[in-house]
């Protein structure tokens, strides 16, 4: 079976990100569990974490990580603590996006990560970094402000995200609290090419498009969009695809159609509630504008994805988050989203 495992591993190296790759790696995991050592099973799952993340399958990544965490804690000193904590950050960035996971479980994982970070000699910069997006997502802006301040105050260490990822979230946080000019200032080193990594500037480009429109900087926004939307590929970037879809719905319906047809299947396949919600909100705007012209061109998944279906999905997902979070923040989030779209649409020169 080792030979079959190695054959599958070589196959996984050649496959692009997506469902087929994670299916091959899941076969590797089954073989490692049944016929190989625990170390083989552990390292296969560690590799699988990246593949699942790149396939937009956070729910699968979380399950694999839970197995690794249990083995790590059951065998002190056997596995790399830095490697495990690094992937733990990925889990903290993903787990709140799934409304079926209770707040108590999320808070428990954050606390566990906090304890482990200090246990292995790290400070809490990474902990507060991950707290920012989580607390924003549940509408706790006071907690987000506190986490942001602490994150910026604590020095960088070996567990901190790269400078590009951190700088990107500095800007996103400012956008979320409606400090658009400060957000753009934070994004400037990335847009100037001074900071970059595996996911930056791709994520940054999608984040700045609507703020630039709100600032009336249409030419700059269009230059970024026309250059960048070719760079965003695959299901990992579902939320980013939505932002490009929204932007082009306002500025170029033909390009919006292309983005929609290339990405709607990613949204339909996704099990990650937050990413689906963000994408579907943008898709709803696109379909609303598309049907105003009474176009006869058939869209991908046109029989399934209608305005009525999108409204049902948006309502279902938002209710799931509000129930989980114990508040009605997602309704406010959606209302602000629609308000922003209307303001941009009204201001954009025809």
pLDDT in tens, 15-74: 998 899 999 999 999 999 999 999 999 999 999 999 999 999 999 999 999 999 999 999
Band (347; pLDDT cuts 50, 70, 90): confident
In tens, the pLDDT along 208-241 reads 999 999 999 999 999 999 999 989 999 999 999 9
pLDDT at 348 over 80: yes
Degrees to nearest 5, angle at CA 265 with 229 and 278: 65
Average of pLDDT values for 301-326?
97
Compute how many other C-beta atoms are within 10 angstroms of the C-beta atom of residue 135: 20
Residue 120, pLDDT above cutoff 80: yes
State the DSSP string of 258-276: HHHHHHHHHHHH---HHHH
Q: Is 128 exposed, middle or buried (0-12, 13-18, 19+ CB in 10 A)?
A: buried
**Both structure tokens of 176:** 């979320």
Share of the chain above pLDDT 70, in %: 100
Residues 6+ apart with CB under 8 A from 208: 171, 183, 184, 187, 191, 221, 224
CB contact at 8 A, 163 and 194: no
Q: What is the pLDDT of residue 142?
A: 98
d(CA 164, CA 168): 6
- pLDDT higher than 90, residue 101: yes
Q: Which residue has the tokens 């943008």?
A: 282
Is residue 91 within 8 A of residue 62, CB to CB? The reply is: yes
What's the mean pLDDT when you consider all of the chain? 96
User: Cβ–Cβ contacts within 10 Å for residue 165, how many?
Assistant: 21
Lookup: tokens for 143: 């907690």
Is pLDDT at 350 greater than 80 in this prediction? no
The pLDDT of residue 268 = 97
Compute the average pLDDT of residues 165-170. 97
pLDDT at 329: 98
Give the pLDDT confidence score for residue 295 in this predicted structure: 77
> Lowest mean pLDDT: which of 203-207, 231-235, 294-298?
294-298
How many angstroms separate the CA atoms of 301 and 265, rounded?
8
What the block records as the tokens of 114 is 């906090």
Q: Tell whether the model's pLDDT for residue 296 goes beyond 80.
A: no
């Amino acid at each position: 079976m080792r030979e079959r495992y190695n054959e599958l591993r070589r196959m996984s190296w050649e496959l692009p990100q997506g469902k087929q790759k994670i299916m091959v790696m899941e076969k590797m995991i089954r073989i490692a569990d049944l016929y190989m050592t625990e170390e083989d099973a552990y390292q296969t799952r560690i590799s699988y974490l990246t593949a699942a993340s790149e396939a937009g399958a956070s729910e699968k990544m979380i399950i694999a990580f839970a197995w690794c965490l249990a083995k790590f804690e059951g065998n002190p000193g056997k596995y790399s603590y830095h490697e495990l904590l690094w992937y733990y950050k990925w889990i903290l960035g993903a787990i709140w996006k799934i409304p079926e996971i209770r707040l108590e479980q999320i808070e428990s994982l954050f606390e566990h990560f906090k304890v482990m970070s200090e246990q292995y000699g790290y400070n809490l910069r990474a902990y507060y970094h991950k707290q920012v997006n989580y607390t924003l997502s549940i509408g706790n802006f006071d907690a987000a402000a506190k986490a942001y301040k602490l994150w910026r105050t604590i020095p960088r260490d070996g567990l901190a995200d790269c400078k590009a990822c951190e700088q990107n979230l500095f800007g996103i946080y400012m956008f979320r609290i409606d400090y658009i000019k400060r957000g753009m200032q934070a994004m400037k080193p990335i847009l100037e090419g001074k900071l970059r990594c595996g996911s930056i500037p791709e994520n940054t480009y999608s984040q700045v498009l609507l703020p630039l429109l709100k600032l009336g900087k249409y030419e700059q926004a269009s230059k970024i969009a026309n250059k960048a939307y070719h760079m965003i590929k695959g299901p990992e970037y579902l939320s980013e695809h939505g932002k490009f879809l929204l932007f082009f719905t306002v500025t170029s319906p033909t390009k919006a159609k292309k983005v929609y047809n290339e990405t709607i299947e990613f949204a339909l396949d996704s099990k990650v509630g937050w990413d689906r919600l963000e994408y579907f909100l943008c898709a709803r705007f696109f379909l609303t504008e598309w049907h105003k012209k009474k176009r006869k061109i058939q869209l991908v998944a046109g029989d399934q994805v209608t305005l009525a279906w999108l409204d049902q999905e948006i309502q279902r997902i938002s209710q799931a988050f509000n129930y989980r979070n114990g508040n009605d923040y997602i309704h406010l989030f959606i209302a602000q989203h629609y308000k922003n779209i209307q303001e941009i649409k009204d201001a954009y020169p025809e």
